[in-house]
Homo-oligomer: A and B are copies of this chain.
Amino acid sequence: MYRIGELAQRFEIKTDTLRYYEKHGLLSPSGRSDSGYRLYNDEDEVKLRFILRAKAVGFSLAQIQELLVIDASRAKWACQDVKGIVEKKVVELEQKIAELTQFRDSLQQLADACCGGPESAEHCSILEALEVRQ
| Interface residue ranges, A against B (CB under 8 Å) | 46-47, 49-50, 53-54, 57-58, 67, 70-71, 74-84, 86-87, 89-90, 93-94, 96-97, 100-101, 103-104, 106-108, 110-111, 114-122, 124, 126-127, 129-131, 133
- Complex contact B118–A90 (CB within 8 A): no
With CB as the reference atom, state the residue of chain B lying closest to A131.
Answer: B50
| Partner among B126, B130, B131 whose Cβ is within 8 Å of the Cβ of A83 | B126
> Within the oligomer, what is the number of copies of this chain?
2
With CB as the reference atom, state the residue of chain B lying closest to A90.
Answer: B107
- Complex contact B82–A120 (CB within 8 A): no
Besides the contacts A57-B103, A82-B114, A84-B116, what 20 more A-B pairs have beta carbons closer than 8 Å?
Answer: A47-B131, A53-B129, A58-B106, A70-B127, A71-B130, A74-B121, A75-B120, A77-B120, A78-B121, A79-B115, A79-B121, A79-B126, A80-B118, A82-B126, A90-B107, A90-B111, A93-B101, A93-B103, A96-B100, A97-B97
